[in-house]
Amino acid sequence: MGMWGKRDDMVVHGQEPFNAEPPGAVLAGAAVTPVDAFYSRNHGPVPRLDPADWRLVVDGLVTRPLLLSLDDLRSRFDATEATVTLQCAGNRRADLTAVRAVTGETPWGPGALSTARFGGTRLADVLVHAGVAPEAAHIAFHAPDVSPSADPPQPYEVSVPRDRALAPDVLLAWTMNGAPLPTVHGAPLRVVVPGWIGARSVKWLTRVTARTTPSDGYFQATAYRLPPAGRDTEGVTLGPLPLNCAVLTPYDGAVLPRGPVEVTGYALAGEGRTVARVEVSTDGGRAWSRTALDEPDGPEAWQRWRTTLDLPAGDVHVLARAWDSSGTGMPESPASLWNPKGYVNNAWPRVRLRVR
């Protein structure tokens, strides 16, 4: 077994902080990702919090500040569970770095995304109990892990707008795939904000603060912003994720025998939308054929797809693209999406195969 109970064959991008993604074939293997294969994205050392002393503070613009133990959360609020796909803003960055260098960021493949059954309670129930003041427009999530990559180094803190925090799908989770949340995934308690960049799903949560403005922490105010092309440093704060898809098997660069080959991957729609279809092309995008798409395990979960292609000998590029329920497709080229931090790549994935 590898670090933090992960499989030995994880693609480890860094040990400290620990950043790892599952190989494509492993990710493709199950609708709910086993915990030992679930990707791990950290900005600093993983803190070990003793669940017995741990408390959650709910404060800021609330009428009734709260101090809650894990038992309080379990006994005073309704339990709920959902299958949720978490996706990092840097998922599929490698396709952008192939266009042009992205400095200081991990070149994630398509595995900075995984799906789990998260259990806990609704953040909204806790916030309603605390009584969020009308002027509180943002809800900040604070954790104790100090990131050396932040400028200056500081604990992890981000926020989401009030309406997102109060939606019934946002969880305070203490279980993952039916077992207690593992340390590396945020024990004893993490936030799960489905459909938004993984950065908002704060692990090792210790404080929830209602505020008038977004968090001024580094990971809200500086990182996870899409830098614009010009010198304007404002950038776009990332939140909801766009429609995306990826090819998981065969791997880019694989050498295969002639004949039928199964191509598999996943697709994930943006908030409030579903994936309508996924198509593949082997002629550079002139002709497309439809793939078989699984039903999602709930509105916040990915869908896996597969198709069998009869590939001729030679170099074959397989392209994929998804369409969502609003008829929106995906952009063709990673070059058209390249940005200095390499965020939110949802261009058509391409795998280059050599068929003999």
For the segment 147-166, give every residue that binds ligand MTE (CB under 6 A).
Answer: 156
Among 92, 93, 203, 350, binds ligand MTE (CB under 6 A): 203
- State which residue has the least CB distance to ligand MTE: 198
Encoding tokens for residue 329? Answer: 């497709």
Q: Is 123 in the site for ligand MTE (CB under 6 A)?
A: no
Cα–Cα distance list, 312 to 86, 249, 259 (Å): 36, 18, 7
Q: Is 202 in the site for ligand MTE (CB under 6 A)?
A: yes
Q: Which residue has the tokens 């398509």?
A: 110
Among 109, 195, 198, 270, binds ligand MTE (CB under 6 A): 198
Q: Dihedral of CA 113/218/176/323: which sign?
A: negative
> What is the total residue count of the chain?
356
How many positions of this chain bind ligand MTE (CB under 6 A)?
18
Cα separation of 283 and 324, whole Å?
23
Encoding tokens for residue 123? Answer: 């953040």
At residue 344's C-alpha, the angle toward residues 160 and 289, to 5°, is 125
Q: Is 181 in the site for ligand MTE (CB under 6 A)?
A: no
Closest CA to 190 of 342, 39, 70: 70
Provide, rounded to whole angstroms, the least separation between the CB of residue 5 and ligand MTE.
12
Residue 162 or 203: which CB sits closer to ligand MTE? 203
Provide, rounded to whole angstroms, the least separation between the CB of residue 217 and ligand MTE.
11
Provide, rounded to whole angstroms, the least separation between the CB of residue 86 and ligand MTE.
6
Cα separation of 9 and 256, whole Å?
22
Q: Is 145 in the site for ligand MTE (CB under 6 A)?
A: yes
Cα separation of 117 and 175, whole Å?
8
Residue 34 or 131: which CB sits closer to ligand MTE? 34
Among 33, 40, 159, 291, binds ligand MTE (CB under 6 A): 40
Q: Going by C-beta distance under 8 Å and a sequence separation of 6 or more, which residues neighbour residue 314?
A: 354, 355
Q: Is 122 in the site for ligand MTE (CB under 6 A)?
A: no
Q: Is 86 in the site for ligand MTE (CB under 6 A)?
A: yes
Q: Is 143 in the site for ligand MTE (CB under 6 A)?
A: yes
> Interface residues with ligand MTE (CB under 6 A)?
38-43, 86, 88, 143, 145, 156, 185, 198-199, 201-204
